[in-house]
Structure 1
Amino acid sequence: MNQPTELTIAIDVYRQRRERVLAALQAAGGGVALVPTAPEAIRNRDADYPYRHDSYFYYLTGFTEPEALLVLDASAAAGEPRAILFCRAKNVERETWEGFRFGPDGARDAFGLDAAFPVDDIDSELPRILAGKPALHYALSTSAEFDGKVRGWLDTVRARERSGVMAPAASHDLTPLLDDMRLVKDAHEIAIMRAAAHISALAHRRAMAVCRPGIREYELEAELLYTFRKHGAQSPAYGSIVAAGANACVLHYPAGNAVAKDGDLILIDAACELDGYASDITRTFPASGRYTPAQRELYDIVLAAQQAAVDATRPGVTFDAPHQAAVRVLAQGLLDTGIVDRTKFSTVDDVIAERAYARFYMHRTGHWLGMDVHDVGDYRERGVPVDADGVPPWRTLKPSMALTIEPGLYIRAADDVPERYWDIGIRIEDDAVVTPDGCELLTREVPVDADEIEALMRDAKAAAGS
């Protein structure tokens, strides 16, 4: 394991986040919060999957090694440590095989913690920390293994009750507090997300530039992965979708070995993860470098829908507002093209009311984005009055929230659909950060306008001499 980059280690950023959690726990009556990192996972036999830390843990520590636990003690007495890390001890032999380890002392100093202990001491140290504390806070019931460890630590404390030691009397879910914190990005996060978006945009431009009829989906995926790593991203943010022709109508189609044919569209939904933060881009472009009239017609509808959603993304509106703006444009386009039967639906309001568009647009227009590509955070408000159906209102957008904007149309071959539109799948996706008066799109270094995409591909062919 390599040592983290300087960008990863922003001591003040992580310390301030921990202080916010501690202050919130103190306001709620105190107690101890436990935030474990992710376990290592075996791929097969004695080979592990590439390790990826837990996002909550990383958000509060910046620490990327496995076998670690953060303890935040909001009831610590004056002078006692409040931010405590358990991590792997220094071990020269293991470091020869696996790479650098900070060790407790190194991690304490590098990441601004109050104290650190070897993880092998956790079963003796943690019951001591929990003893006499009023409450325990952690991600309840998300890991059966960790729940079992917590029960063991609490049982150890309870075994001392006759000597006057009391175990925490209550357990609370820590994730709503952390989710709300993570939902609004700070400047440090936005800077990394902007850098991740830049790398992902370079990858999409490269894929467009090398694409030609006869190329296979996995070849385009290889160009994406190469660009991610070449420019410093640690990994893809999710499994890359590279879909040629009719495969683009499969929403989560993994890059396969299908050959892109002349006349096919290529839908690529792929992006990198950089220093713990995801980007998320989708572009749809012609394998030959030029859209057919039917493809261009549908593409322009989807692009107009995306622009309507972008225009609707601003502080004070609900999370649902961009989706509804996109749906109206898509529904009108489906009506105008005759893909939705005009003898059954005479107006766009009819199409929307009957959800006739949902056959061709079956997902929502966006999701939260951050450390996870589908990032944490409620989409509806908590603790507010519900409507007549018992449903709370959609969450209101605020500055520095990050979300995707990704409308699409997926027209499978069917007898009741004009044949010129058969097997056309189009999605256009960008990453947006809400600003005080609108939103900033982080991913527009790769074009979305059809003419600009065609020009990029034409120039790339000319430069290659083909």
Structure 2
Amino acid sequence: MDPIRPPVENYANPKTCFFHVLFKAGALAFYILSTLFFNSFVIIFVVTVLLAALDFWVVKNVSGRILVGLRWWNEINDLGESVWKFESLDQESLARMNKKDSWLFWWTLYLAAAAWIVLGIFSLIRFEPDYCLIVGVCLTLSIANIVGFTKCRKDESDPAFKDLVEAVTLELSTNSIAANNVSSTLTVSIMLITRMPRSSSSSSQPRPLHLESHLPYSQHSVLYETCIAEGGHKAKMLALVQETLKIGVAVYKLGSIESADSLKFCRIQEVMLEKQLIGHKVDRSICAWFWDQVISQGDSFKGIVRRTYSTNKVHDIGQPTPATHPQLLKEGEITPGITTEEYISRRKRLLELLPENSLAVIAAAPIKMMTDVVPYTFRQDADYLYITGCQQPGGVAVLGHECGLCMFMPEATRHDVIWQGEVAGVDAALETFKAEKAHPLSKLRDILPGMIRGSSKLFHNMQTATPIYTELDDFQRAALTGKVKDLSNFTHELRWIKSPAELKLMKEAASIVCQGLLQTMLHSKMYPHEGMLAAKIEYESKMRGAQRMAFNPVVGGGSNGSVIHYSRNDQKIKNGDLVLMDVGCELHGYVSDLTRTWPPCGSFSSVHEELYNLVLETNKESIKLCRPGVSLRQIHNYSVEMLCKGFKEIGILKGSGSNSYHQLNPTSIGHYLGMDVHDSSNISYDRLLKPGVVITIEPGVYIPSIFDGPDSYRGIGIRIEDEVLITETGYEVLTGSMPKEVKHIESLLNNYSRGNGMEAQNNLEAASS
């Protein structure tokens, strides 16, 4: 093609071409003619620079992509560094670009810069420094685009890469390898790479590879079927190979260099290759196979990466990983105690429950603000954490039969990194959370609508939905047609039965809260204030490894104990009063829930003991019913019968109606427990219990101060709650280590108080002052 004369074909994108030229011409014309109409330098400066800036934006973000298939941009990488990115379409797509569009793009780009240079020379000759400033700004914008788009074409002009592509093309054209066999094509590509001259820093000679026997038959089959699905065309195979070779050549040239820059570059290239191969629907294991084989005759690339990770500079993704927190996570775990394989299994089981060709959208919990700059403590949405393992806010996960797990990750700015720390980005979604696809969250509005249109059913959690996707037109149209359903029916089904790994975490959380509440109980005489006891249980729980409390502790002294979810915790506890403490902690996403009631003074009164023993007996008998094949509803009904009978014998229940009973206990006997305190809330209490389900058993009596009955019973609240795991043969009480018998509680309190009498007296005096 003659570089001076334009091609004879028509423009493929006339509107884009028009705007590509418009702002360049506008900026130049206004600058040249403005002195005829304006005397104000400020107006000339503002309008000219504005037009030049508009031109810069149009070229960089619109015409560069459409007319020549190139783009460049700047971003902050996971290390917090400013990185310039340069991309181009694959060779096949570039070859299809309209030649006339490309000719116009490059000529106008260079001519505009040349025009500004000429105008700058005139300004210098005429000694007009002010106008030199305008020219300087406009010329800088023009040259920035020239440099950016020129770098985008760098790979196309790489002689080594061209030689390799020509060699592979020759292999394909001579049919020396099967045109339908991608694995053979990659093998030849790797052989060609290893025959290249290495960098001057390496003296070892490359040897030819013989890899066809190294690729398992199953991977052979995956690659073969992938190629057939793509049409089996050589051109498409070549495009895949070209993308592979671009990275292979760059990495191989590094030879045995192990500088920090080289290692960082290698790591970036590995991630790029994986994204590109996955983009071509090639199994992730093929990516690992490529890296194992391409460097297998020289320095081990995998070894280089391992050495990179073994240095003191460990990459932070905003949540614990085995590399950053080896004391918390073992290799292969995404969150403490839960492996990558378990997260993948959860996603597979969820897809098995969902109808064919359906799509599930799960949003991470957003950050909630206490004030304009102070956030509340963040807690992840349980469904999002259960499916992804990501503990960070703001993301959206999409799960489908075709796409697998696709994660849209928030991008952190340098300001975010400085003020809030690192976050997991697209790379972490692929590498740590093992998503099949990942995109910046900013791309959600471009990508998700197409996924919604391609699905027959759409599921999301209606209680935790976020406007970032519910405001999409395609989502709202799907909702209007009845296509949108509640996902929690399926996720709660999965979360209802706990895996061995989940049960281990729940047992640890139960142990922590038992130890913490025991210490709080023993110190309750020394700290006769609800707030002090709330602080004590939180301190004891966190000192034992809990990340947070599962809910605001209920510390009800005296009549406050009759308020079921009392949380003010602002009253002093009077001598002789009972204190009811309902507490739980969270350990790596799983919670505990425990309630005990006791007299800090060390002795139950006769009235307190009478009611307490009734609740205790109901607690123990209800636990005995816990086994597979029994429902929580059946256990509840049994507990109601026991309490009603006891209330009548004591004389505080008048009549036999349910209203009379509910005045003394309006609560259920218990609930399911897991990642949330009231876990799997969509599962009916009529469902028969199964092994692996964890429930609470928490009978109680709550007599208000305005109770129409004997004065001695007014203002009393008693609850005894335990966690119970349903096993194959019956049950296991996870909170069984926490005392609940009257004699045990009194013995513990009195023996401990005698040894700490002086400290107790000092605290009593401090609290009353």
* TM-score, structure 2 normalization: 0.53
Question: Residues 178-217 of structure 1: CA distance to partner in whole angstroms, max 9, x if unpaired?
Answer: 1111111111211111111111112211111111177111
User: What amino acid does structure 2 have at the position aligned with 1:438?
Assistant: G
Larger Cα-atom Rg: 2
Gaps of at least 5 residues in structure 2 are: 1-317, 322-327, 330-335, 759-769
Q: Structure 2 CA distance, aligned partners of 1:303 and 1:9? A: 36
In structure 2, the CA distance between the partners of 1:142 and 1:38, relative to structure 1 (3 Å rule), is closer
SS in 2 for 1:44: coil
Q: Cα offset for 1:9?
A: 5.1
Distance 1:296 1:213, change over 3 A: farther
Larger relative strand fraction: 1
Task: State the Cα distance separating 1:135 from its structure 2 match.
Answer: 2.7
Post-superposition Cα deviations, 1:282-338, rounded to whole Å, max 9, x if no partner, equal 100002011111111111100001111101121111221211221122112112211
Q: How far apart are the structure 2 equivalents of 1:29 and 1:12? A: 23
- 2:470 and 2:746 map into 1 onto residues whose CA distance is 57
Residue aligning to 1:461 = 753
1:364-423 deviations in Å (ceiling 9; x for gaps): 111111111111243538xxxxxxxxxxxx221111111111000122345752333222
Report the equivalent of 1:437: 729
Could you say if the C-alpha distance between residues 292 and 153 of structure 1 is closer, same or farther in structure 2, counting changes exceeding 3 Å? closer
Change (3 A) 1:430 1:454: same
> Is residue 367 from structure 1 mapped to residue 671 from structure 2 by the alignment?
yes
**Partner SS, residue 303 of structure 1:** helix
What CA distance in whole angstroms lies between the structure 2 residues aligned with 1:179 and 1:270?
23
The CA distance in 1 between the partners of 2:399 and 2:440, in whole Å, is 16
Partner of 2:427: 105
| Deviation, structure 1 residue 361 | 1.4
Residues 345-424 of structure 1 correspond to what in structure 2 (within 5 A)?
Answer: 351=656, 354-380=658-684, 394-413=686-705, 416-424=708-716
Structure 2 counterpart of 1:391: none
* 1:206 partner amino acid: Q
CA distance in 2, matches of 1:88, 1:414: 53
Maintained 8 Å contact 2:363/2:464: no
In the other structure, the counterpart of 1:336 is 649
Match of 1:44 in 2: 371
Query: Which of 428, 436, 447 is matched with 2:720 structurally?
Result: 428
Cα distance change on mapping 1:150 and 1:265 into 2, 3 Å: same
* More divergent stretch after superposition (213-222 vs 91-100): 91-100
Q: Per-residue displacement from partner, 1:37-83 (whole Å, max 9, x unpaired)? A: 11111112221111111111001011111121111121x2xxxx411
Asked if 2 retains the 8 angstrom alpha-carbon contact of 1:9 and 1:110, the reply is: no
What amino acid is aligned across from residue 248 of structure 1 in structure 2?
Answer: G
Letter in 2 for 1:82: G
Return the offset for 1:90.
5.5
Give the match's secondary structure for 1:180.
Answer: helix
Matched, 1:96 2:413: no
Aligned partners of 1:378 and 1:395 also within 8 Å:
no
Distance 1:440 1:208, change over 3 A: same
Are the counterparts in 1 of residues 707 and 714 from structure 2 also a CA contact under 8 Å? no
Alpha-carbon distance in structure 1 between the residues aligned to 2:544 and 2:718 = 28
Matching of residues 9-408 of structure 1 within 5 Å: 10-25=339-354, 28-74=355-401, 76=402, 81-89=403-411, 91-140=413-462, 143=465, 145-146=467-468, 148-151=470-473, 170-212=483-525, 215-341=528-654, 351=656, 354-380=658-684, 394-408=686-700
Instruction: Report the Cα distance in structure 1 between the residues aligned to 2:410 and 2:466, rounded to whole angstroms.
Output: 22
Distance 2:420 2:365 in 1: 17
The 1:214/1:277 distance shift into structure 2, 3 A limit, reads closer
Q: Which structure exhibits the higher relative contact order, with contacts defined as CA atoms closer than 8 Å and separated by 6 or more residues?
A: 1
Q: In structure 2, the residue corresponding to 1:43 is in which secondary structure?
A: coil
Q: Secondary structure at the match of 1:417?
A: coil
Q: Is the CA contact 2:694–2:726 (under 8 Å) kept in the aligned structure 1?
A: yes
Q: Which range moves more in the overlay, 102-111 or 290-299? A: 102-111
SS class of match (2:631): coil
CA offset digits 1:330-373 (Å, max 9, x no partner): 112112211224xxx5xxxxx3x555322211111111111111
AA partner of residue 416 (structure 2): R
Distance 1:124 1:309, change over 3 A: same
Aligned amino acid, residue 307 of structure 1: K
Aligned-partner residue type, residue 11 of structure 1: T
Match of 2:740 among 448, 452, 457: 448
Please state whether the residue corresponding to 2:439 is helix, strand or coil. strand
Q: CA deviation at 1:103?
A: 1.7
Structure 1 CA distance, aligned partners of 2:623 and 2:727?
A: 12
User: For residues 113-133 of structure 1, what are the alpha-carbon distances to aligned partners after superposition, in whole Å with 9 as ceiling and x for unaligned?
Assistant: 212222122222223434433
Judging by fraction of residues, say which structure has more helix: 2
Moved more, 180-189 or 117-126: 117-126
Distance apart, 1:429 and its partner CA? 0.5
Distance (whole Å) between structure 1 residues aligned to residue 707 and residue 586 of structure 2: 42
What whole-Å deviation, never above 9, does each CA across 1:259-282 have from its counterpart, x for those lacking one? 111110000011111111121111
RMSD: 2.4
* Alpha-carbon distance in structure 2 between the residues aligned to 1:114 and 1:440: 39
Residues 1:101 and 1:413: Cα distance change in structure 2 (over 3 Å)? closer
In 1, Cα distance between the equivalents of 2:526 and 2:652?
28
* C-alpha distance in structure 2 between counterparts of 1:354 and 1:369, whole Å: 27
- Quick check: 1:262–1:288 contact (8 Å CA) kept in 2? yes
Q: Is the 8 A contact 2:597 2:720 kept in 1?
A: yes
Q: Is the 8 A contact 1:214 1:261 kept in 2?
A: no
Structure 2: distance between partners of 1:23 and 1:451: 52
Q: Secondary structure at the match of 1:267?
A: strand
Q: Distance in 1 between matches of 2:683 and 2:714?
A: 34
How far residue 245 of structure 1 moved from its aligned partner, in angstroms, is 0.5
Stretch moving more, 49-58 or 101-110: 101-110
| Unmatched tracts of structure 1, length 5 or more | 158-167, 346-350, 382-393
Aligned 8 A contact 1:213 1:260 in 2: no
Structure 1 residues 105 and 296: alpha-carbon distance in aligned structure 2, compared to 1, 3 A threshold: same
Q: Are the structure 2 counterparts of residues 243 and 356 from structure 1 closer, same or farther at C-alpha, using a change threshold of 3 Å? A: same
